[in-house]
Structures are given as C-alpha cells and as structure tokens.
Structure 1
Amino acid sequence: MQVKLSTGVVATCLTWLLSPLAAAQTFEARAVITAPHRAILSGELAARVASLPFKVGERFSKGDVVVGLDCALYEAQKSRVAAEVRAARIKRDNARELSALNSIGEMDVALAQSEYAQALAELKIADLNTDRCEIRAPWDGRVVSVLTRAHENIRQQQELIEVVADQQLEAEVVVPAAWLTWLEAGMSVHFSIDEPPVSAEGAIAAVSPAIDAVSQTVLLRVSLQNNPNLIPGMSATAVFAAPVSQ
C-alpha cells in the first residue's frame, strides 16, 4: 500500500532535516560549577577583631567592610609619626633659611631634608597600617564562612573570612581531546544540574592549551548565564551540540 504525502508535509519534513538541530548530534561530559572570584581574606596586622558585619550566606557589596579590627595602637602611632613629620618640616625650613644667610653649610641642609623625607616615609607606613584595620570586600558577593569571632586577638596573616562572587559563575568541563576537532570558543553549552534538578546555559569561554597526556582529555572553561539557582560546587552534565559529521 502506497501512501502519498502532500506537498506541504514533504516541505515540512525537508525543512526539519535541514535544520541545525537535525544537522547536529549531542555529546555529554561531566562538569563542576565554579566561582572564578573566591578568596579567603587574611589579616595583615596583629590586632583584636572589633566587628564582623556579615554572617555566613549574607550578601555584601564591593568596598564593604567585612572585618573590622581594633587599631587604637596603630592610630596612636600614626599621630606620633605625624607630629614627627611636622617637627622635621620645621627643621628643614629653618635650615634652608639659615643656609640662605650663610649661617650653616649645605650638609646641614641636606641632613634636615633627609630627616624630613624619612619622617614622611614612616607616616606612609603608619597610614598603611591604619588602612589595614578595615578589611574590605574586593567585589560584590556573599560570605562562605567566617573563620574568627569578634573580640578575638588575631595574628598576622591569619585567615579570617571566606567570600565568593556568586553572580559570575563558570563551569569546568573535562572532555576528550578528540572533541577539539569541532569544539570552539563561543559554542553554546547546556547544563543539567544534578541536585537540585535545574538547567543552565553557557558558552565556551576558553579551551585549555594543554592536553592531559595520560587521560587524553582537555579542560574547558564555560561562562554561565546569571542563574540564581546555581551555587559553586554543584556537579552537572554538560551537553554539546556537534556537527553530525562528528
């Protein structure tokens, strides 16, 4: 029994066969959601923790103080150095006036100028120390963990708080090196998140320039579209649409 198809049906079938979806096949690989901007902020001074304005999970903006230190000692040192700068400046100016009257030699003027420059350098150090009393957020983000408590005394380089920029997430995908024949930057990638079962979209941002010699795989870095359901550390399946010839 022969079935005749209308011209419209034939045209529809041909259109589907020639469409981009019909001319491609899908490949899958495992992926991990990552945050390119994630850091553990440390204290550069030995001081007492005065304030921790943000708790775990709370959102902050770039420039917000995430850890405040009690720096009364450093402020006092800065005041002392500032007074020394004023005294050194007066001494330098006086030396220049005496030199103009030929009352002192050039060496005395040079020494006064050197003392003033040294005092300015010490004031700059004092300014840096007082600036370090407030640890500020390097970008917009959220608190991952707080590693200290208010009123605790910390040492230099002690880890205090972990933060992450969760609005600019990426995915790391390890794929067979053989896929490099058709993979390229800018190619769209669909992600199926394991838990919770949600989906996400992205595009290949970069392909690693080196292939793992043992596994013959290559790492891809995929930029993700902003998605409030995504959290760094999630695992997912990445789905690629490759030309059917592949």
Structure 2
Amino acid sequence: MNAASHRPPAALLTTLALATTLAAALPALGQVDAPAKRAASTEIRAQLSPRRYTTIAAEIGARVQRVGVLEGASFKAGQQLIGFDCSLQRSQLARARVALDVASKQLATQTRLAELNATGRQEVEQADGEVRKQRADIAQIEVMLGKCSIAAPFAGRVAEQKVREQQYVQPGQPLLEIIDDTVLEVEFIMPSRWLQQVRAGSPVQIAVDETGQTYPARVLRLGARVDPVSQSVKVVAAIEGRPAELMAGMSGRLIIPAAP
C-alpha cells in the first residue's frame, strides 16, 4: 500500500476546514454582540452655556470715565457697569434751560401785549414756538444724559472687558460682554429618533471634562424643528443646582439614560 492511500478524502478535508473557521469566528461574534447588550446609556457631546448673555455697546460718543465692574467680576441687576464723561452734555443742558427761561419771558410779554392789542397774533405764536423748541431741546439733551451711565440689565458676570477708562468710544462700539451664569444650561444636538425617549423634563447627566465629575441635569426645551439633512434636533437642559466649580464654556459627555 502506498502513502497516497492513507490521505483522507478531499470532501472530508473541506468539511474540517469549515468547522475550524466557524469555531474560531464564534468567539469574535460573541465579543461584538456583548458591548451592545451591556450598553445602558447613550453619550453625546455637550457644552455649558449661560442662561442669558449680551454685549453692552456705547450709545453715544464720549470718554469712558469709569468702568464699574472689571473682567471676571460679578454684578447685580441695575448696578452701574460703565460711566461716561458727559460734562459737555451737561453744559448744553444748562444753556438750553437758560434759553427756555428767556423764551418763556418773551412769550409772557407778547401775550400781555396781545391782551392790550399792542402786538399781533403772529408774534405771540412765534414766541410760543420758541418756547416749545427749547423744551424739545432740553428733552433731547436729557435723553443723551440718560445714556451717560450704563446699568446692568441682569445679575451676572463680566465675560470680557473691551474698553478701558479714559478711552474715547464711538456710538455702537462694544464695551463689555456679560453673562448670567446663575443657571448653567447644557446645549447638545441629538438624533431626532431619540425624541420618543427624550422630552421636556427628562433627566440627563453631563460628565464635564474640565472637572472630571458628573452632574445631574434636566431637559428644559427642545428645538422648534428637526434638521431635514442631519435628522437631528437641538436640546437644552439645565444643571440642577449651581456647582461653584462649573463655568460657561466647559464641555463634556452628555449621558442619556437608557429607557427601562
């Protein structure tokens, strides 16, 4: 008997090879399915943002006399943030008041002369028009003086100081960026298919990168529409409480607990 008679048939060799391949592949398939079964939550990126924020700009052209709150400092609602040097406007107001006094006396004189038939109606009307003009000038200057001091529209902090004392600014020039960080909101974009699970009032968590801690939050509102291209929607949540270590602009992983 030769050596070739001891070889197994070709069909048997093929069967053995397939069995060996399947045996090696089954553990790998189990490893692929296991993480999906163990996943208990879905994580996406999110960023902390202040509840309110705005840029304070100059409404008049003037020299900055005082910056009431420096960058990073806190302030209360109604507190003075910027004070301008308005000595020119105050002198204009004093001059306008003197002109109004003169015009009022002239009107009184013309009115008396009209009663005595010593002057015409046109002169009285001209004197009355001059009085009204001076009053309008005074009202305009008083409005300008009201813009010489900028008060905080809400309580918060100065995020960025764009102007310094003794600097001359133009109307519309940005002065301060302020934020209301008494409540920190969490903004994130999620797939629209998750709307069945995430609604207003749903609990979420955010693991902040900068602190290494996880904080509870609750969904405040959903976006008004779903983006038709990305099939996503914007969601805003609010962190419960006000942890002192958190700051606007921090980011992290937002964790949406899996449905029970």
Determine if the TM-score, normalized by the shorter chain, exceeds 0.5: yes
Amino acid at match of 2:86: C
1:155 aligned residue? 170
Please give the secondary structure, in 2, of the residue aligned with 1:179.
Answer: helix
Q: Residue 188 of structure 1 contacts residue 201 of structure 1 at CA under 8 Å; is this kept in 2?
A: yes
Q: Residue 198 of structure 1 contacts residue 229 of structure 1 at CA under 8 Å; is this kept in 2?
A: no
Q: What is the TM-score normalised by the length of structure 2? A: 0.76
Pairwise mapping of residues 2-17 of structure 1 onto structure 2 (< 5 A)?
none
Alignment length (residue pairs): 220
Q: Which stretches in structure 2 are left out of the alignment for 5+ residues?
A: 1-39
1:73 aligns with 2:88: yes
- Take 1:78 and 1:226, find their aligned partners in 2: how far apart are those partners? 49
1:122 aligns with 2:149: no
CA displacement at 1:222 relative to structure 2: 1.5
CA deviations 1:71-117 (Å, max 9, x no partner) are 11111111112222333333344444444555545444443333322
- Counterpart pick for 2:251 among 224, 229, 235: 235
Please give the secondary structure, in 1, of the residue aligned with 2:51.
Answer: coil
| Larger-Rg structure | 2
Identify the structure with the greater helix proportion: 2
Amino acid at match of 1:57: G
1:13 aligned residue? none
Q: Identity of counterpart residues, as a percentage? A: 26
Cα distance, 1:223–1:90 mapped onto 2, change above 3 Å: farther
- Counterpart pick for 1:199 among 186, 199, 214: 214
Cα distance, 1:141–1:99 mapped onto 2, change above 3 Å: same
1:139 aligns with 2:154: yes
Pairwise mapping of residues 17-166 of structure 1 onto structure 2 (< 5 A)?
26-166=41-181
Pairwise mapping of residues 158-237 of structure 1 onto structure 2 (< 5 A)?
158-227=173-242, 228-237=244-253
- Take 1:144 and 1:237, find their aligned partners in 2: how far apart are those partners? 24
CA displacement at 1:33 relative to structure 2: 0.7
Q: Residue 51 of structure 2 contacts residue 182 of structure 2 at CA under 8 Å; is this kept in 1?
A: no
Answer 1 or 2: higher relative contact order, Cα 8 Å, separation at least 6: 1
- Take 2:204 and 2:110, find their aligned partners in 1: how far apart are those partners? 72
Q: How large is the Cα RMSD of the aligned pairs? A: 2.2
